[in-house]
Structure 1
């Protein structure tokens, strides 16, 4: 179950064509960052379209605990009165980040170069996830960390009283690690340099520049080199959060696999560091039109018109992984309805997400009659074609919102109902998933315990 609720078993039944408009929530990555950057600015930042899932609400609570004034004015409408770079107060209590790896890792980065101490914890899923990937680089700035064996939460971070800037090469493609190091660099004098060998989602760099920080990005033979000049005064902003491409993936993929479907998903972010799923779906034969392309809140967006179409298996190249790391679970569902096999390579980062997503999807697909293969860095799904997936299985969600939603989408097109043991984690990122999918024509029900 999620950190904030009880277990909710759920079952998805085969449905007729999906139709209508799917207004998915605001982007989770940008929502986290809007709250954090607002807390680091001097003055009032106004946010519209904020995702009000549990993960983001936990970040809002954390910003209050560090001294910022965070206020909700209406659905998706928030304001943050910031305390300035280096102005965090020491929190009185433990910071509970629930299920959010993004929230805890970014906040650890921010406070690591401030002369305060904070202790972080989360739910059972978050407390299993590796935090050494954050504590190692922030130690370069002078921060100290004390956690459980294997660098896991609960963990106490003692911020550096006299931080020094750092140069750090990110050892794995991770926007969370890159962002944590850049956020640590905000309160360090001089220049902090982050080098990433593979480009990852760039919301932090975009938002740093938008709030007035001096940040440059250079493509070199070493990789993508991001240079940040520390100790700026960040200026408050008005932020319109675009709709989340990772949440949009679920109604989009459901429409792709349910015969006769046609839906529209308006205002979806099409940031080039986030759109790998949509590139892959088109390669598989999906009928997706990108209409009314425009820019909102500094992010490229478009309206997606999606129709059911026959699909073929493809090879997804490893260099695409960073741009769709959260979408592999739902892609593996789509692959189940394709003709031929779909091979997803370079996906070892899935092993350390909210769950081991490679294992979780492989076991759940197999429980529904689909053949899979896996190794440490690869997932292969042998497609059964339209109408060929038996279904009928019960899958473990492993406290992972994307696993739960993926299997609910599987049930919409499988020949027999598909169940998950616990759908409560869905609220962490997509609290309106059930009513939204029901409005489109899906049959997702909560089971009696």
Structure 2
């Protein structure tokens, strides 16, 4: 939960704004931030990380790696310095590893511990303690780890690692980058070849970064099925990592600049991993001007500066095959659709009903309250846009259901409304993007 709710909600009315201009940077990618600390803590020597996302989840990962013997320090200039122990040399933590609300930290760190001869206890907050860990307990147990979880396979749990662990071939029963990553991380200290088979491709940040740190990892693809193999007993080499800006955070500013007349904005250093960046593909299909400047590769990840200019948008039918690579971006896409010319249709989005909120129902209600024309189906929304005319806005606060992405999406809707849109609570935005309101105010000249 969010600490700020101890003091009740923090509402704000987002008013029509001037064009978005200049250059901005959004916070670093969360997935890459977690992994850079974990792998840096397993490499001997100094790994330097700049642009780390300093949210509570990532700091939980840093604290855990410290507890197992790595040195993880924030420098005065905002960069981070990590001195690792080497694969196989993690130390037994003295106290429980406190994971807060971070499912990523928990599942990936369970993988790391599983092939080391140490025992660790994982605890989390009330919300994390309801989330299923059985999906990682199963493969890690096959590798030889001894795991005692709470009833229902949840936290708190105790994991006794086995070294040498047993290399396995594991076919993912559920599409989960976290489960895949846990098995691969366990494979780092396991003699032989650890194999993960993915019937449905998921985010590939772990594979890219493992390779970047020097692990022997290769991927075969046949008939849409990916087979990932990792040769164990790896020696990781320290790296210098510039964490790319989070594409999910950049999405709000890209859509705002497309919608607000006169906008001409450069969003610097955006990660464009193809398993994450499909929103930009769809916005271009709608007629959005989004140009990649200075495309480059950083730590195995594709990165570019995005130059976004105000563009009249036209509604499209969004290919459901793109959904996994833009699942968190649908709330802000719905705002773009509400201002486009014609009809936008989305399907295959059942997954959105089980996110931080039921994002289909919550966005349908919020956009309707702000004057958009929205029809809700079981697996998506159909939106008839205004053709660029501003939304009417709303007299009453829209309900964001404590969902950070809904709050930010409706903030952008306020910029392109006549009377503004009042968001019932801006506090949850801090979970993924604490500087959002400040950046939005400065880009629109509302300083």
TM-score (norm 1): 0.89
SS in 2 for 1:178: helix
**Corresponding residue for residue 423 of structure 1:** 426
CA distance, structure 2, for counterparts of residue 426 and residue 266 of structure 1: 21
1:193 CA displacement: 0.9
1:239 CA displacement: 1.3
**Corresponding residue for residue 2 of structure 2:** 2
**Corresponding residue for residue 401 of structure 1:** 404
Structure 1 stretch displaced more, 364-373 or 300-309: 364-373
CA distance, structure 1, for counterparts of residue 88 and residue 445 of structure 2: 48
CA distance, structure 2, for counterparts of residue 62 and residue 3 of structure 1: 21
The alignment status of 1:255 with 2:261, answered yes or no, reads no
CA distance, structure 2, for counterparts of residue 95 and residue 412 of structure 1: 43
From 395, 412, 415, the counterpart of 1:412: 415
Q: 1:122 to 1:63 in 2, by over 3 A?
A: same
SS in 1 for 2:297: strand
1:429 CA displacement: 2.4
1:58 CA displacement: 2.3
* Cα deviation code 1:72-103 (max 9, x no counterpart): 11344111111222333333334333343322
Q: Which runs of 5+ in 2 are unaligned?
A: none
CA distance, structure 2, for counterparts of residue 131 and residue 343 of structure 1: 35
Q: 1:252 to 1:222 in 2, by over 3 A?
A: closer
1:340 CA displacement: 3.3
Q: 1:103 to 1:329 in 2, by over 3 A?
A: farther
CA distance, structure 1, for counterparts of residue 287 and residue 115 of structure 2: 48
SS in 2 for 1:334: helix
* Cα deviation code 1:244-281 (max 9, x no counterpart): 21211111111122222221112212222222010011
The alignment status of 1:439 with 2:442, answered yes or no, reads yes
CA distance, structure 1, for counterparts of residue 434 and residue 422 of structure 2: 19
TM-score (norm 2): 0.89
1:440 CA displacement: 0.7
Q: 1:138 to 1:13 in 2, by over 3 A?
A: farther
* Cα deviation code 1:382-405 (max 9, x no counterpart): 434423533325344444432322
SS in 2 for 1:289: strand
From 279, 289, 293, the counterpart of 2:295: 293
1:32 CA displacement: 1.1
SS in 2 for 1:314: coil
**Corresponding residue for residue 385 of structure 2:** 383
Structure 1 stretch displaced more, 150-159 or 71-80: 150-159
Residues 361 and 376 in structure 2, CA contact (< 8 A), matched pair in contact too: no
* Cα deviation code 1:106-129 (max 9, x no counterpart): 222222333333333444544444
CA distance, structure 2, for counterparts of residue 148 and residue 340 of structure 1: 52
SS in 1 for 2:93: coil
Count of residues in Structure 1 that have an aligned counterpart in Structure 2: 443
The alignment status of 1:361 with 2:370, answered yes or no, reads no
Residue pairs, 1:246-325, within 5 angstroms: 246-325=248-327
**Corresponding residue for residue 48 of structure 1:** 50
CA distance, structure 2, for counterparts of residue 297 and residue 341 of structure 1: 40
CA distance, structure 1, for counterparts of residue 5 and residue 260 of structure 2: 31
**Corresponding residue for residue 71 of structure 1:** 73
Residues 55 and 429 in structure 1, CA contact (< 8 A), matched pair in contact too: no
1:282 CA displacement: 0.4
Residues 47 and 76 in structure 1, CA contact (< 8 A), matched pair in contact too: no
CA distance, structure 2, for counterparts of residue 399 and residue 151 of structure 1: 27
1:165 CA displacement: 1.6
Q: 1:142 to 1:34 in 2, by over 3 A?
A: same
**Corresponding residue for residue 107 of structure 1:** 109
Structure 1 stretch displaced more, 33-42 or 317-326: 317-326
CA distance, structure 1, for counterparts of residue 285 and residue 224 of structure 2: 30
SS in 2 for 1:345: coil
The alignment status of 1:191 with 2:197, answered yes or no, reads no
1:416 CA displacement: 3.2
The alignment status of 1:83 with 2:85, answered yes or no, reads yes
1:38 CA displacement: 0.6
Answer 1 or 2: higher relative contact order, Cα 8 Å, separation at least 6. 1
Q: Which has the larger radius of gyration?
A: 2
1:367 CA displacement: 3.8
Q: 1:391 to 1:165 in 2, by over 3 A?
A: farther
